[in-house]
Amino acid sequence: MELSAVLMRLLWLSAALAASSSSRRPRSAEAPQSSSPFGPVWPLPRSIRISPDRLQLAPRRFQIVHGAGSSAGPQCSLLQDAFRRYYEYLFGYSKHQKHEEKSLANTELAALQIIITSEEPDCDKYPDISSDEEYNLSIGEPVAVLKAEKVWGALRGLETFSQLVFEDDYGTFFINASDITDFPRFAHRGILIDTARHFLPLKSILTTLDAMAFNKFNVLHWHIVDDQSFPYQSITFPELSAQGSYSYNHIYTPTDVRLVIEYARLRGIRVLPEFDTPGHTQSWGKGQKDILTPCYNGEHPTGSYGPINPILNATYEFMAKFFKEVGTVFPDEYIHLGGDEVDFSCWKSNPAVKEFVRKQGVWYSYTKLESYYIDKMLDVVSSLNKKSIVWQEVFDNGAELSSDSVVEVWMGNSYEEELRKVTKEGLPAILAAPWYLDYISYGQDWMKYYKVEPLSFSGCETQKKLVLGGEACLWGEYVDATNLIPRLWPRASAVGERLWSSKNVTDLEDAYSRLSEHRCRMLRRGIAAQPLNVGFCRHEVRNP
Ligand SMILES: *[C@@H]1O[C@H](CO)[C@@H](O)[C@H](O)[C@H]1NC(C)=O
Ligand SMILES: *[C@@H]1O[C@H](CO)[C@@H](O)[C@H](O)[C@H]1NC(C)=O
Ligand SMILES: *[C@@H]1O[C@H](CO)[C@@H](O)[C@H](O)[C@H]1NC(C)=O
Ligand SMILES: *[C@@H]1O[C@H](CO)[C@@H](O)[C@H](O)[C@H]1NC(C)=O
């Protein structure tokens, strides 16, 4: 064949592929029965009773609607958007079918009614750490009723409902009559993405948010900049990304950032921005003169730079302006200040920094200098009426953390001991250490993440209550758009259930059975979740 003919053929194939992927019906969907007594639901609700009574759903007739007495109606665009989305997840494949819907032989479930009970449904709000995610779901003839105080609970309940509907081999949809009451064990259930080591296209971030909603995660921890690149386009300091990003293609414009935040909000997910300083900041130096410490060799500057320069007033003037913008752009009440892995060697080499430290007296150290810097940053954040989250070194080095600052525990060697210490000081904590998903290994490592018990450290009840939750972290050294999704899912799902479900949900065999189906469900919804083990998904088709 001519090269051009081959090319034409390829183009035609890819167009055909694109067209078929949205319209093709799978031969058969997921297994109608889960081998788990709880059905194929993930994460497991607080309490779930599934009866053997099966109800049939007719895609053409079935409706997701606002129930009588709900404080939210059609003007609640967050719910309207969710209704549309979940209808698509339920019947996405089948609605393209042209066949007539016969009257059903079975008892029919006609609708899912959503009732928001609080006067303030929170339709136009952003979720926060104290958002109420509780819901009750009662599925029975003739309608299913989903009750929640706030829209956040309704979103979680819609997800659960959608997971209980299954399609048999003949394309008929069923759900078992069930009763569910549910609420999360931990309030902070996060996924960390790193857009500095590799840029992640907007689409990858949005797909991650979709998958997070399927797993009831509620915080996207956006480690947005680092040494390697500064993709965040600042309105106040546009040179930061103009000079510090990988290229003008590798940036997040203000519009991109707004889009991520709104997409997340519609799924009940907070966007927690991290601008890590004073270390991990090489990229800041390209677009902001004198922000980094010049390193010296004896009397002479080496031409390389170290952490943020902590001894210049200009540094803090810049940081105040920059974080003022961050506080405006990101609606979350928390800002993550980073503060990890600060290398002191450059500070120690710089004559002016050395002199600064010497002048403070004999007891002063570089650790104290770091705390001096961080304390000023903590003040910047609180002057914005926001709260700070910091990596554990900030606590270890004795910075003056106010009681609402959160310490994120990440060091693997003795995180129980660190949790004990942090909470002993009365500070809230987030656990990340056992959930560094960027470390990969052969086999079913999800089990390792699943087996973690976040409150296994020694401490009193008050201390345990200070653990707000945890995060699965996917650092980006070896991750970009090609492998972000399969590396996260379904491995992060294990963390999702650990943070949502009751403490006693620890049966690995049952989890495996539900997670296998959950992985297939994610695939069906367009999430390229990697396999857990050998096997297959029933909906897989020969030529997708
Ligand atoms: C759902 O109902 C079917 C049919 O009665 C039953 O066989 C199945 O065990 C039920 N599913 C669950 C998870 O209880
Ligand atoms: C859910 O049911 C429980 C137990 O009956 C009840 O205490 C709770 O208030 C209900 N929650 C909602 C949102 O209806
Ligand atoms: C930096 O600010 C402090 C406090 O406002 C002031 O005392 C000091 O003189 C300033 N230093 C320089 C170099 O401007
Ligand atoms: C966990 O404990 C609760 C309350 O004690 C109980 O109702 C529930 O069935 C238990 N769940 C599992 C999976 O053991």
Instruction: Considering every ligand atom shown, identify the ligand nearest to the alpha carbon of residue 156 and give its number.
Output: 2
Query: What are the pLDDT digits (tens) for 238-272?
Result: 999 999 999 999 999 999 999 999 999 999 999 99
Question: Is pLDDT of 180 > 90?
Answer: yes
Find the mean pLDDT for residues 487-497: 98
Does ligand 4 come within 6 angstroms of the Cβ of 106? no
Query: What are the pLDDT digits (tens) for 76-117?
Result: 999 999 999 999 999 985 544 545 556 666 799 999 999 999
Instruction: Considering every ligand atom shown, identify the ligand nearest to the alpha carbon of residue 175 and give its number.
Output: 1
Paired tokens of 157 = 């309940």
In which residue are the tokens 């003056």 written? 400
55 C-alpha to ligand 1 centroid (Å) = 11
CA dihedral 74, 157, 42, 472 (to 10 degrees): 70
Question: Which residue(s) pair with 296 in the sheet?
Answer: 301
Q: Provide the pLDDT confidence category of residue 34 given band limits of 50, 70 and 90.
A: low
Which residue, judged by its Cα, is nearest atom 8 of ligand 2? 136
Rounded to the nearest 10 degrees, the angle between the axes of helix 491-500 and helix 508-524 is 120
Tell me the pairing of strands 143-148 and 111-116. parallel
pLDDT in the model for residue 92: 80
pLDDT in the model for residue 470: 98
Find the mean pLDDT for residues 288-306: 97
Q: Give the separation between CA 140 and CA 87, rounded to whole angstroms.
A: 18
Does ligand 1 come within 6 angstroms of the Cβ of 41? no
Instruction: Considering every ligand atom shown, identify the ligand nearest to the alpha carbon of residue 517 and give its number.
Output: 1
Which residue, judged by its Cα, is nearest atom 4 of ligand 1? 52
311 C-alpha to ligand 3 centroid (Å) = 10
Q: Provide the pLDDT confidence category of residue 412 given band limits of 50, 70 and 90.
A: confident
Question: Is pLDDT of 149 > 60?
Answer: yes
Find the mean pLDDT for residues 525-537: 94
48 C-alpha to ligand 2 centroid (Å) = 13
Q: Which atom of ligand 1 approaches the CA of 37 most closely?
A: 13
Residue 341: phi and psi, rounded to 5, are 50, 55
Query: What are the pLDDT digits (tens) for 186-196?
Result: 999 999 999 99
Assess whether 341 carries a catalytic annotation: yes
Does ligand 1 come within 6 angstroms of the Cβ of 50? yes
Does ligand 4 come within 6 angstroms of the Cβ of 502? yes
Question: Is pLDDT of 517 > 80?
Answer: yes
Which residue in 341, 400, 417, 477 is the catalytic one? 341
213 versus 18: the higher-pLDDT residue is: 213
Total-model pTM? 0.92
Question: Is pLDDT of 26 > 50?
Answer: no
Instruction: Considering every ligand atom shown, identify the ligand nearest to the alpha carbon of residue 49 and give its number.
Output: 1
pLDDT in the model for residue 28: 36
Nearest alpha carbon to residue 210 among 252, 150, 263: 263
pLDDT in the model for residue 184: 98
Half-sphere exposure of residue 253, counting CA atoms within 13 Å on the CB side?
4
Q: Which atom of ligand 1 approaches the CA of 38 most closely?
A: 13
Whether the bond into 331 is cis, omega within 30 of 0: no
Q: Which of 48, 49, 176 to mutate to test the pocket of ligand 1 (most atoms within 8 A of CB)?
A: 176
Alpha-carbon torsion (235, 237, 238, 242), positive or negative: negative
514 C-alpha to ligand 1 centroid (Å) = 15
Q: Which atom of ligand 4 approaches the CA of 507 most closely?
A: 13
136 C-alpha to ligand 2 centroid (Å) = 6
Nearest alpha carbon to residue 220 among 212, 228, 230, 229: 212
Q: Which of 136, 137, 147, 151 to mutate to test the pocket of ligand 2 (most atoms within 8 A of CB)?
A: 136
Find the mean pLDDT for residues 136-140: 97
Query: What are the pLDDT digits (tens) for 54-65?
Result: 999 999 999 999
pLDDT in the model for residue 5: 52
Q: Where are the alpha helices (DSSP H) in 181-238?
A: 202-214
